[in-house]
Structure 1
């Protein structure tokens, strides 16, 4: 080949980058084999006497999502379940929806919160207040944007029983309906799960711990032993913090992949995606900027170089540079694209199987992901977060004192 030393060096470096992608195929194959997966074929609870469970659903302005969530929770086949809905300072129809459910089903109670004390995030405070009124030996913390198959709770209780787990959690299907959800949401989930691979977090011998607060089932003695949500009162990803505390006591914490039996629709708009995932990644990385910087640099090197190489090689050929370097660069960039897209398709399919082919828009998703991570880094540097109408950090302080009351169907 008639290549200059500089051209040879560039191609060698790029070849090493491309070679990382077949290795990634092998890695994710091994990763998938070590995942705990729950589906409709999984065993239902088979213990002698089903322990009582209280489902806790915090809801702040959730009029769009709460009805379907409540319907799916009320339809659970698990025999000993009561449901506590926490109306957390809602300004929409959330309270009326919760009260209607309580009128229809005596298992449903409604707890109304009107204020948020300093030092707490809204969700942790809502869950803390609700836990004090929960009747179950197990607490089932759920996000209002989740939906569940009728046997879901029974399957997860059996999963916890069979694994002697004090905390069991799920990674549900990510229901993606808009274009931006389908493009960005799976990638954002990949960024998080690369920090918290579940097969490592599920190993009782490893210190890494993880749980997903969208679906978190915890035994009451374990919850009380670590101080409950008061111990993670200032966290935005209280689930990971709670999992760390539980695992530190020597108890087992398990998380399973479960797209068949549980689902969630996290954010419905591009702006919501950016705000929500920025907050998650900020807190999940312990509010430290350096790990997040790595989350931007790594894709720039291993993913976005493929786009750059493709554009550069095509531009060279269009402009009349037809030497071997341009053709080699073009060929390698095409191989890079095929390998990259096939890996990403497999990863997208794990969390959003119905829309996995949107991995083809990864280049666009990568730009949005960089914006999300950059926003998370800015949060680390400033300590300021605004979420669901409440500002945290800096000079902003949530209002003091909480007032709550419980309402039942009667």
Structure 2
């Protein structure tokens, strides 16, 4: 296949909006070999490993842990030749709710070379980026490439089922001297109990009040400088979609568009007030980001499901801003289907069952922010249909899940009302 057929960097915005990034087309085996090489290079000589979601929240956790372990700082210099293609936008979270951010980075959607050679790291605290869908792979790599007696942290990640990580976690526990898991997502009691029973220190914060950086900040026995308290607070502002501090959007965008290792070192040096060269980089990328947002908003449709209005659209874009636009147009919940096959689900005060919807279509997350990737893609013809139909099948599958959740909620409410009436009559 000719490289230019899978390189979306020079495509017009309208076409770029409907296609996945270059890395999507790379064979899994090639990508896995690359991730093995990167992890092995990062773990060489490291005393600590941090498996973290590669969004602003997960990377803030890495910054806090490096500070607590007095790890060396490697402050990057501004790059005048920074590539500005494929500005897809921020993802959250999770995504879980934003698995998409990490998946998009792995797929090359952030404009970086998806097969860039790993560089030797001087850090004693190694960063191992992961997503909720491949946390087990990251655990296996730490078990394989980490030194015996290493300290292991897992941050901003939540497995949907314990069996997904059971064997890999056991292997990591055999290698590591200690394993701590810090998160703020919605954990099932059975999963949390199993992880703790395995020998892990698990701390899960209130997903309505804390981000994972908050959990790390209060859990580590270390007196952090005030800049790290501020880093956790501003990270929370975006991760919980509070949007009261404009700097939080800058952090989220910068974490998405730059290399994860660079982000960690920049916020360790500058805190939440990014340097001018980083702000210039963000401003350049936002030009295309806004164009992609406009494309997705222009495709938005609205469906009435029970008492709720659900907005749904398709495109490579920043889902939070697109969801906010649909909310302003009357949506109680919003779905953004991505070219890579995943989808983001965003709720409001009126609809707070996003994680239940996602759970029906191979996903999970928070009550008001979740992510999923329906298991409906069997071959490239299915993906070709996905791109040309602008996600028609995926939209239908997720809307059906919405109907199931809404109907179940209505039945539960009716049953509770009947029980209340019965109690009153008695």
TM-score greater than 0.5 by the shorter chain: no
Q: What TM-score results when the alignment is normalised by the length of structure 2?
A: 0.26
Which structure has more relative contact order (CA 8 Å, sep 6+)? It is: 1
More helix by share: 1
Q: What TM-score results when the alignment is normalised by the length of structure 1?
A: 0.27
